[in-house]
Chains A and B, each alone.
Chain A
Amino acid sequence: QTVVTQEPSFSVSPGGTVTLTCGLSSGSVSTSHYPSWFQQTPSHAPRTLISRTNRRSSGVPARFSGSIVGNRAALTITGVQAADESDYYCVLYMSSGIWVFGGGTRLAVV
């Protein structure tokens, strides 16, 4: 069974840049997995940030960007703000037709 992996936690200073990644337990992530990224704060519904690797959703600031870095999908946040402190999830499309979420990364802004 394929597992989607994410860093459990990350810390970044205000104004800094952070790159969160999303990988596969077996194999490499490519654009064919249509990687997407979501932001969630406690007790709120998720918000879609990035779809299809690098397409920003409506209203998402340009400081959020998506890419493929090596064999992983990546979400880069530049000019990090305190409001960016959230859980971040990626999801990948599998050839079997299903989507699989990663376990999420808790981002602390300290």
Chain B
Amino acid sequence: QVQLVESGGGLVKPGGSLRLSCAASGFTFSDYYMTWVRQAPGKGLEWISYISSSGSTEFYADSVKGRFTISRDNAKNSLSLQMNSLRAEDTAVYYCARNDCSGLSCYTVDYWGQGTLVTVSS
């Protein structure tokens, strides 16, 4: 079955950096787009980034553009999110998710990880 396991969350000071990872299993990782979604405490979901199956195309929400970088290693079935210049408002649970893909087309997410908490505070 599809499994997505995030890691790397924790406490970081404003202006600091953190790298999140997502280990994928149960499907052919290289066939799927992958996405990061976050949720601030008590707030709604926020889509922040996705990456194409080959890693050649990336999209970012304006709130993280220029600070966050998504990447993937298809040989290791791994997705990453490098977060720099972190701010208090980046405090959230970060979810790794697989995109719903059919043939060459990919759509929104179908499977979700359990999430990892990132806290930005001095």
Contact = CB atoms under 8 A, between A and B. Distances in A.
Interface stretch (A14-22, A47-55, A76-84): A47-55
Of A38, A45, A57, A97, most buried by chain B (CB within 10 Å of CB) is A45
Interface of B: 35, 37, 44-47, 50, 59-61, 95, 100, 107-115
A99 B45 CA distance: 11
Contact of B45 (A51, A57, A104): A104
A98 B62 CA distance: 10
B63 to A, nearest CB: 11
A99 B44 CA distance: 14
Contacts of A103: 44
Q: Does more than half of chain B's interface fall in helix, strand or loop, or is it mixed?
A: strand
Interface of A: 34, 36, 38, 40, 45-48, 51-52, 57, 87, 89, 91, 93, 97-104
Contact of A99 (B47, B110, B111): B47
Given A97-B59, A101-B45, 6 more contacts: A45-B113, A45-B115, A48-B100, A48-B110, A48-B111, A98-B47
Given A45-B113, A45-B115, A97-B59, A51 B107 contact: yes
B108 A93 contact: yes
B108 A98 contact: no
A99 B108 contact: yes
Given A34-B108, A51-B107, A98-B61, A91 B113 contact: no
